[in-house]
Amino acid sequence: MDVFPAGHPLLQAQQLKHTFRTGRCALQSVNVTIHAGEMVAIIGRNGAGKTTLTKHFNGLLKPTAGTVLVGGQDTRRVSVAQLARTVSYVFQNPDHQIFHGRLFDEVAFGPRNLGLSGKELDQRVASALDAVNLAAYVDRDPAELSRGQRKRATIASVLAMKTPVLILDEPTSGQDYQESRQIMAILQQLHQQGHTILLITHDMELVQEQAQRVLVLGDGQLLLDGSPDELFRQASLLQIAGLRRPPIIDLQHRLEELGLTASVPTAESLAAALASRIQQGPSVHVDPTPGRNAACP
Amino acid sequence: MPKITIDNLSFAYPDTSTEALKEIQLTIEPGEFVAITGATGAGKSTLLRCINGIIPHFQPGTLQGAVYLETSAGRSAVGRVSTPHLARYIGSVFDDPEGQIVSPIVEEEIAFALENTGVDPTQMDERIQHALDDCGIAHLRQHPTNRLSGGQKQRVAIAAALALAPSILILDEPTSELDPDGTEAVLHVLSELHRQRGITVIIVEQKINLLAPLCDRLVLMDQGRIVLEGPPRQVLRQADVFTQLGIELPVPARLMHALVKEGALPPLDSPGAPPVPLTVDEAYTLSQALLTGS
């Protein structure tokens, strides 16, 4: 990954426009640059253009107008196979991706195409399956696994590729709480190792906890490029983009009306702030009719 | 309006040594809204399949005990009721919005369910309209199904189930692929059907923070067993069980537990303890009351 030092502009969309054959304009003039080593969440309603945008970064879609550069190269001039060495992709629906009858072969498919074989290949597959808790299923037919397990199988496939960029469409859908945590821990670790990670997600808690940068899409346009904190303070934008604050942020903002703050909002830190205020005695400054409309979209 | 009685139910899938369900005992009253949660492999979906009859009618395995539907006419085990008959009582909706819609146009999708059960064509128009109205998607009647959003597709799936006028709706993670708007729309429809039509709703969900304010009863499952069940405010008192089972405790309840730890509130099992908040609004009201000393 030395090819892409941290901060290097790695994925660039310039005046990107995409119109489908049906005539629907899915992206209109999107400008965005993702730098090497970033962890970026892409959010918005179903149909906002999130998947259309990210499919330009692995070359599955080519711009109708404008330019997309991956590692400085115009995706129109590079094959999808070539781009697969830089960018790997987990689709929203695992069944659009899985095509082998044995889990090992499914996960080994990408690395084999990179020219790996023998022990190195075995090791890659084993550690990828281990990371997503599917080691015991290595010889099973993916069709026999649950949807959540199949989703993790596709995540193992991209882990085995070790590409500089990973794009994941709804990595935690169909997962329970622990599994979601585990997947996020894996991605966090890859991020720390210098991988660039793009997440498409509807899970606002995940956005709040994991992303440094958020791209909000709505009707094919980039509505916001900023931090999760900036996003959660813009009630009108949240409404336009069909998003919700995660409950903990909602609670934090509501308690701010009571003059309570916590630098890292958790239920525990907010409770501690509240408890210490109670010890100071009943407050006379509390407005009995707080500006509820200001905090709740 | 049948009552559902699950009596000592155990089930093992073929060629497995461990039981997916172990000695399940549960009664669901007519018109109850029950939310079931738990980790992957806890047996949630298997339990739903035993209630709607997929087990044993379509899924083989070793079944012990039984699920009964009880009406004023008597009680019958789900395994002994024919599936067309079951379909009139119980409607089912699954997690994948793509996988359960078969028709190109919304109204045809609803009509398909009616045709399959031999509903008189003269009644169809009204039944379709009713079902779409109840799901808040009357405006989508002539829409192509492949142009719908995930949230709209799930509401079409619910409408298709509703057109058969079931008294019980069973849903397996219906919002797992939906955006926040779609999730809210689907849960709103369920809550209205429950409130206004008195339909029994049994839903498996991970999003307990959204379900807790809506449901009458919360059921926590782990490794094939029911570990904890009761009204949400009661169940959410047992934070330790949530931790043990790896289930996320909703933020409002977490705030309350943290306030007890801080000594700002008495222990939750003591007589004067306030009820566990289910929403951010309730958590806010509780915090405000503590601050003003009321």
- Give the model confidence (pLDDT) of A5-16 as tens digits: 888 999 999 999
Residue A97 in tokens: 């991706």
Distance CA A32, CA A13 (A): 5
Alpha-carbon distances, residue B2 vs B27, B29, B72 (angstroms) = 11, 8, 8
Q: With respect to residue A130, please indicate whether it lies within any of the assigned structural domains.
A: yes
| A223 falls within a domain | yes
Question: How far apart are the CA of B242 and the nearest CA of chain A, in angstroms?
Answer: 11
Q: Do A271 and B182 touch (CB under 8 A)?
A: no
In a domain, A235, yes or no: yes
CA B14 to centroid of chain Cα atoms = 26
B14 touches chain A (CB under 8 A): no
Q: How many domains does chain A have?
A: 3
Write out pLDDT tens, residues A174-196. Answer: 788 888 988 899 999 999 999 99
pLDDT at site B91: 92
Q: Is the domain of A213 the same as that of A263?
A: no
pLDDT digits 0-9 by tens, B33-83 = 999 999 988 999 999 999 999 999 999 999 999 999 998 888 999 999 998
Res B200: pLDDT: 97
- Report CB contact under 8 Å: B182, A175: no
Cβ–Cβ below 8 Å for B149 and A146: no
Residue A297 lies in a domain: no
Query: Do A72 and A186 fall within a single domain?
Result: yes
Chosen from A133, A202, A216, A286 to mutate, greatest number of chain B CBs within 10 A: A202
Q: What was the pLDDT predicted at A294? A: 42
- The size of the A-B interface in CB pairs under 8 A is 119
Q: Which of A30-34, A71-75, A144-148, B123-127 has the lowest mean pLDDT?
A: A144-148
What pLDDT score does A282 carry? 57
- pLDDT surpasses 80 at A227: yes
Is A35 among the domain residues? yes
Same domain, A140 and A180: no
Of A148, A170, A268, the CB nearest to B40: A148
Please give the pLDDT value at position A196: 96
Whether A94 maps to a domain, the answer reads no
Considering the domain architecture, whether residues A120 and A214 belong to the same structural domain is answered as no
Distance CA A265, CA A96 (A): 38
- If 0-12 CB within 10 Å is exposed, 13-18 middle and 19+ buried, where does residue A284 land? exposed
Per-residue pLDDT of chain B (294 residues; tens, 9 = 90+): 899 999 999 999 998 888 999 999 999 999 999 999 999 889 999 999 999 999 999 999 999 999 999 988 889 999 999 988 888 889 999 877 777 888 999 999 999 988 888 889 999 999 999 889 888 899 999 999 988 877 788 889 989 988 888 999 999 998 887 888 888 888 999 999 999 989 999 999 999 999 999 999 999 999 999 999 999 999 999 999 999 999 999 999 999 999 999 999 999 888 888 999 999 999 999 999 999 876
Quote the domain boundaries for residue A214: 9-86+163-244
Q: Does residue A293 have a pLDDT over 70?
A: no
Q: Where in chain B is the domain with CATH 3.40.50.300?
A: 3-89+166-244
Judged by CB atoms closer than 8 Å, whether chains meet at A251 and B176 is answered as: no
- Kindly list the residues from chain B whose CB atom is less than 8 angstroms away from the CB atom of residue A247: 209, 250-252, 280
B147 touches chain A (CB under 8 A): no
Residue A93 belongs to a domain:
no
> In angstroms, rounded to a whole number, what is the distance separating the alpha carbons of residues A200 and A51?
8
What DSSP line would sit under B125-143, residue for residue? HHHHHHHHHHTT-GGGTTS
The verdict on A18 and A39 lying in the same domain is yes
Across the interface, of A146, A174, A282, the residue whose CB is closest to B176 is: A174
> Do residue A272 and residue A125 come from a single domain?
no
Distance CA A30, CA A9 (A): 16
Residues 6+ apart with CB under 8 A from A278: B264, B290, B291
| Cα first-last separation, chain A | 43
Q: How many CA atoms lie within 13 A of A119 on its CB side?
A: 0
B262 in reach of chain A (CB within 8 A): yes
Give the global pTM.
0.88
Residue A252 sits in the same domain as residue A121: no
B3-89+166-244 belongs to which CATH class? alpha beta
State the Cα torsion B135-B139-B144-B147 to the nearest 10°: -80
C-alpha distances out from residue A272 to A269, B7, B166, B284, Å: 5, 45, 48, 15
Question: What confidence score (pLDDT) does residue B151 get?
Answer: 79
With b for 16 or more beta-carbon neighbours within 10 A and e for fewer, the B181-206 pattern comes to bbbbbbbebbbebbeeeebbbbbbbb
**Beta carbons of B182 and A46 less than 8 Å apart:** yes
Residue of B nearest to A201 (CA): B179
Could you tell me if A111 and A256 lie in one domain? Answer: no
Secondary structure element (H or E) that encloses residue B144, with its range: none
Q: Is the pLDDT of residue A290 over 70?
A: no
Q: Which of A144, A175, A177 to mutate to test the interface with B (most CBs of B within 10 A)?
A: A177
User: H or E element: which one contains A16?
Assistant: strand A9-19
pLDDT digits (tens, 9 = 90+) for A29-50: 999 999 999 999 999 988 899 9
Is pLDDT at A69 greater than 90 in this prediction?
yes
CB contact under 8 A, A247 and B252: yes
d(CA A108, CA A122): 8
Assess whether A80 and A14 both reside in one domain.
Answer: yes
pLDDT tens digit string along A228-257?
999 999 999 999 999 999 999 999 999 999
pLDDT of residue A272: 94
For residues A111 and A234, state if they share a domain.
no
Give the CATH number of the domain where residue A171 resides: 3.40.50.300
Measure the CA–CA gap between A100 and A140, rounded to whole angstroms: 10
Residues 6 or more apart in contact with residue B269 via CB below 8 angstroms: B237
Chain A, 209 to 238: residues with Cβ < 8 Å from chain B are none
The predicted pLDDT at position A3 comes to: 65
Rounded Cα distance between B154 and B168, Å, is 17
Asked if pLDDT for residue A296 goes beyond 60, the answer is: no
Summarize the confidence of residues A153-170 as an average pLDDT.
94
Statement: residue A287 has pLDDT above 70: no
CA angle, corner B142, sides to B136 and B145, nearest 5?
80
Q: Of A195, A208, A193, A173, which is closest to residue A39 (Cα–Cα)? A: A195
Q: Does A2 score more than 60 pLDDT?
A: no
ipTM of the complex model: 0.86
Q: Let me know whether A152 and A178 are in one domain.
A: no
Q: Which of residues 12-71 of A touch B (CB under 8 A)?
A: 44-47
CA distance A131 to A29: 38
For B151-156, the CB contacts below 8 A with 24+ separation are B151/A46, B151/B178, B151/B179, B151/B181, B151/B182, B151/B183, B151/B185, B151/B186, B152/B182, B153/B97, B153/B98, B153/B101, B154/B93, B154/B97, B154/B178, B154/B182, B154/B186, B155/B185, B155/B186, B155/B189, B156/B101, B156/B106, B156/B109, B156/B110
What's the rounded mean pLDDT across residues A129-143? 93
B38: chain A residues, CB-CB within 8 Å: 176
pLDDT of residue B266: 92
Same domain, A204 and A76: yes
Chain B nearest-CA distance from A255, in A, is: 7
Which residue matches tokens 């539907």?
A: B69
d(CA B111, CA B118): 10
Instruction: Give the sheet arrangement for strand B90-93, strand by strand.
Output: B90-93, B168-172, B200-204, B33-38, B217-222, B225-230
pLDDT beyond 50 at A288: no
Rounded to whole angstroms, the Cα distance separating B236 from B211 reads 12
Residue A185 lies in a domain: yes
Torsion of Cα atoms, A211 then A214 then A215 then A217, to 10°: 100
